[in-house]
Amino acid sequence: MVRIGAFLVGLFFAGWLFVSFLVGAYSYVTEPPAKTVEHEFHLAPKHVSFSFDGPFGKYDQRQLQRGFQVFKEVCSACHSLKFVAFRDLEALGYNEAEVKAIAKQWAIKTPSVDPATGEPATRDPVPADHFPKPFANNVAAAAANNNAIPPDLSLMTKARHHGTAYVYSLLTGFQEQPAELLKKFPDSKTPEGLHYNPYFANLNLAMAPPLSADGQVTYSDGTNPTVDQMAQDVSAFLTWTAEPKLENRRAAGLATIIFLLIATGLAYMSYKNIWADKKKAA
């Protein structure tokens, strides 16, 4: 009885799936799905190498400091970094006093309450504060940015596939819309106020090229601030903001795996030992 019922149910599901397949195949052949403009022109992130690549790579503190400078002078005007605190910057090699000064001089102030009146006010950030947001809320952010809300950057490099290379590619990927694209997809002209970038998911983004000219920031360590260099540095910085514990994680991992290899080797010998008599008995 169970088998008869099962047979019928199986026949139904398998049969109907086959019918669905035929219907799908028929329409696939008669009306092949049109390629979208994203299919044809979206590009995977560029290849770019960093000191923290590979299983044992580490952050380059000087590069992180340069990247932080780019973030401070360029990105932070519009993008928040809300999961990172000023005190975290000590990991970049700044000492306590420097962190305190960075926080105090930060252009955007931390919201607070006027102790006398209770009215909303602002104060200088302290190291314990997270980076203050440039806009009070999403409405203000959208209003100031042509209706596009600049995303928070704390986790950006983990929130995209190949995030570090993605950020780098996006920053260096702004270009004119290819003539070929317009020929093939005449309706896909980049709308007014948006900017063509083949590394962005739907090819047009609201952000104008943020790194537009070499020398946009002045590095104190003498590195030549080309657009490419600045893009690499800020990508490295944003990798750190997304994964600040990367070095601890890799060091702990190495120790753990070495320990486990030895322990497992011993466990294997012990297992073979204990079974030795059983195999001999055979």
Partner 1 sequence: MASVEHSDGQSLSGGEGVRRRDFINIAAVSFAGVGAVVVALPLIDQMNPSADVLALASTEVDLSAIQPGQAIKTTFRSQPLFVRQLTPAEIAEADKVDPSTLRDPQTLEERTVDGKKQWLITMGVCTHLGCVPLGAGEGENRGEFGGYFCPCHGSSYDTAARIRKGPAPKNLEVPKFSFTSDTAILVG
Partner 2 sequence: MSFPWAEHYTPKHPLMQWVDEKLPLPRLVYNAIGAGYPVPRNLNYFWNFGVLAGVALVIQIVTGVIMAMHYGANDLVAFSTVEQTMRDVNAGWLMRYAHANGASFFFIVVYLHIFRGLYFGSYKAPREMVWLLGLVIFLLMMATAFMGYVLPWGQMSYWGAKVITGLFGAIPVVGEPIQTWLLGGFAPGNASLNRFFSLHFLLPFVIAGVIILHIWALHIPGSSNPTGVEVQGPQDTVPFHPYYTAKDGFGVGVFLILFTAVLFFAPNYLGHPDNYIEANPLSTPAHIVPEWYFWPFYAILRAFTVDFFFVPAKLLGVLAMFASILLLFFLPWLDTSPVRSGHYRPMFRKFFWILIIDVLVLGYCGGAPAEEPYVMISQLFAGYYFAHFLIILPLIARFEKPLPLPGSITESVLAKYAKADGETAAVPAE
Q: Among partner 2, partner 1, none, what binds residue 277 when CB lies within 5 to 8 Å by partner kind?
A: partner 1
Minimum CB separation from partner 1 for residue 213, in Å?
38
**Amino acid at position 129, single letter:** D
Tracing tokens 């950057």 back to the chain, one arrives at 153
Confirm or reject binding of residue 136 to partner 2 (CB under 8 A). no
Q: Indicate the residue among 130 and 162 with the shorter CB distance to partner 1.
A: 130
d(CA 17, CA 97): 68
* C-alpha dist (Å) from residue 281 to 67, 274, 278: 68, 13, 5
* Among the listed residues 168, 169, 187, the one whose alpha carbon sits nearest the alpha carbon of residue 177: 187
By beta-carbon proximity to partner 2, the closer residue of 234 and 242 is 242
C-beta of 91: minimal distance to partner 2 in Å? 11
The minimum distance between CB 121 and partner 1, in angstroms, equals 15
Q: Which of 78, 212, 74 is nearest to 144 (CA)?
A: 78
Residue 247 interacting entry, from partner 1, partner 2, none, C-beta within 5 to 8 Å by type:
none
In angstroms, the Cα distances linking 116 to 15, 109, 119, 181, 225 are 76, 19, 8, 61, 46
**Which positions from 242 to 261 touch partner 1 by CB under 8 A, shown as an x/- string?**
-----------------xx-
Map the footprint of partner 1 across residues 50-89, applying CB under 8 A.
85, 87
Residue 128 interacts with which of partner 1, partner 2, none, CB < 5 to 8 Å by class: partner 1
Binding track, positions 143-182, relative to partner 2; x by CB under 8 A:
--------xx-xx--xxxx-x-------------------
Question: Closest approach of Cβ 133 to partner 1, in Å?
Answer: 17
DSSP secondary structure letters along 116-174: TT--EEEE---TTSBPPPSSSSHHHHHHHTTT-PPPP-TTTTTSSTTHHHHHHHHHH--
